[in-house]
């Protein structure tokens, strides 16, 4: 969370934390950070934020999900806990903790042509993978072996990894362009 704030600050944006409906109503876009997707699911339902977030996403609010954030954006999970729900919106199936217990975390660099012509730095921490990409979503990041680790569907961007812990800001910059486009088209 702190790293997302610092990355956005370095790009000239001052984000606010969203914990209440009131705060949600005042933001133009949302970053859903890593953490534990089952906890994000439980807490957002408990505090009646889940449905309003789903509604805003469906209305076109730009949203960037990293790691657990990607899990929250997936339309379906191949191994969610029995009562686990997601906000959805991104036409993908995600598998949680897909790199297994032995590979708890690793850093690498990956090709992400929509973001930059040079590879981006990516840290994977108990990361999910995108097992299936439906027709409404587009692959935007893959590991060298072809594993899909990023997808976009219009206003919704989900990536398996954490760019912000590697000091990588180009994905956030790309996201801010999506936000600017969305704000521009709503004012037209």
Could you give the residue numbers annotated as active site? 67, 162, 164
DSSP-derived secondary structure letter, 166: G
Cβ closer to ligand GLN: 126 or 170? 126
**Shortest gap between Cβ of 183 and ligand GLN (angstroms)?**
28
Q: Of residues 49, 67, 115, 149, which one binds ligand GLN by CB under 6 A?
A: 67
**Among positions 96, 115, 149, 152, the unique one binding ligand GLN when judged by CB under 6 A:** 96
From residue 19 to residue 58, what is the string marking binding to ligand GLN with x (rule CB under 6 A)? Answer: ---------------xxxx---------------------
- Residue 169 CA to residue 118 CA, distance in Å, equals 13
- Cα–Cα separations (whole angstroms), residue 163 to 50, 79, 134, 166: 25, 24, 24, 6
Q: Could you identify the residue written with the tokens 């789903």?
A: 54
Tokens 């903790």 found at:
97
Task: Give the integer Cα–Cα distance in Å for 30 and 35.
Answer: 15
- The SS3 assignment for 91 reads strand
Q: Which is nearer to ligand GLN, 28 or 104 (CB)?
A: 104
**Which residue in 85, 97, 142, 147 binds ligand GLN (CB under 6 A)?**
97
Supply the minimum distance, in Å, between the C-beta of residue 105 and ligand GLN. Answer: 8
- CB neighbourhood size of 2 (10 A): 9
Asked if 71 touches ligand GLN (CB under 6 A), the answer is: yes
Contact between 88 and ligand GLN by CB under 6 A: the answer reads no
Residue with tokens 């790309």, as numbered in its chain: 174
| Residue 34: burial class (beta carbons within 10 Å; 0-12, 13-18, 19+) | buried
Q: Closest CB to ligand GLN among 120 and 129? A: 129
Residues 100-139 as x/- pattern, contact with ligand GLN by CB under 6 A = -------------------------xx-------------
Q: How many residues bind ligand GLN (CB under 6 A)?
A: 11
Q: Which two tokens stand for residue 93?
A: 């199936």
Identify the CA nearest to 176 among candidates 124, 125, 115. 115
Binding residues for ligand GLN, rule: CB under 6 A, are 34-37, 67-68, 71, 96-97, 125-126
């Amino acid at each position: 969370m702190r790293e997302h704030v610092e990355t956005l600050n370095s790009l000239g944006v001052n984000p606010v934390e969203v914990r209440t409906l009131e705060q949600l109503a005042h933001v133009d876009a949302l970053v859903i950070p890593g953490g534990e997707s089952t906890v994000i699911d439980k807490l957002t339902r408990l505090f009646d934020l889940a449905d309003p977030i789903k509604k805003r996403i469906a209305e076109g609010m730009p949203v960037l999900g990293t790691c657990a954030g990607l899990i929250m954006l997936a339309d379906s999970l191949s191994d969610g806990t029995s009562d686990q729900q997601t906000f959805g919106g991104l036409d993908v199936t995600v598998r949680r903790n897909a790199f297994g217990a032995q590979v708890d975390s690793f850093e690498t660099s990956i090709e992400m042509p929509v973001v930059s012509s040079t590879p981006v730095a990516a840290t994977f921490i108990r990361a999910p993978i995108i097992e299936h990409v439906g027709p409404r979503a587009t692959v935007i990041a893959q590991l060298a072996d072809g594993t899909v680790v990023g997808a976009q569907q219009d206003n919704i961007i989900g990536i398996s990894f954490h760019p912000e812990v590697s000091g990588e800001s180009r994905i956030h910059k790309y996201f801010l362009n999506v936000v600017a486009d969305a704000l521009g088209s709503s004012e037209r």
